[in-house]
Amino acid sequence: MKKAKLFLLASMILGTIICNAQTIEMDKGKVTCNGKEILNYKVDKWGTYQVHFYSLDSNEIILVSDIDNETPKYYEDDFTSIKFLLLGKKVETKVKKNKWKHYIVWFMENKVMDAEGKINEEKLDLFIKNYDEKITERTIKLK
């Protein structure tokens, strides 16, 4: 009986993980989720590395920037700025993702973005509460 319950529990957990898994790809200016185009993007590689995410109707909705605080060889002060442009909200965090698409995955894991590329403002507020470190508010730059 215990084995059956354990098997049922494991099956439910595995099923939930598989059902919620999203395959995100970024290629040639398009972001796809499970093969369906959900966003467009453009990467800037001059100055600050950043990626602009656009809705399919060409509205810029998210700007993700890697900020090095003008100290390219000193990494302790680096952070990521994520601006949700249409909502006027931002997150500044030390969390770094290896690839730009991992930010989309992170948003989906936290239910900030759905598989259609739509932003859930209520979940975004929770995301900001959990991850915003308010780095520029607490940083003093000497000139």
Res 61: pLDDT = 97
Say if residue 26's pLDDT is above 80: yes
Res 17: pLDDT = 44
Res 20: pLDDT = 52
User: How far apart are alpha carbons 89 and 102 in whole angstroms?
Assistant: 20
Percent pLDDT > 90 in the chain is 62
Name the least confident of 50-54, 60-64, 136-140: 136-140
Separation in Å, CA 87 to CA 62, 138, 143: 10, 23, 33
| 88 CB neighbour count, 10 Å cutoff | 7
| 104 CB neighbour count, 10 Å cutoff | 27
pTM of the model: 0.80
Beta strands 60-67 and 50-54 are: antiparallel
DSSP state of 78: -
Mean pLDDT on 29-43: 96
Say if residue 80's pLDDT is above 90: yes
DSSP state of 94: S
The tokens for 71 are 């100290």
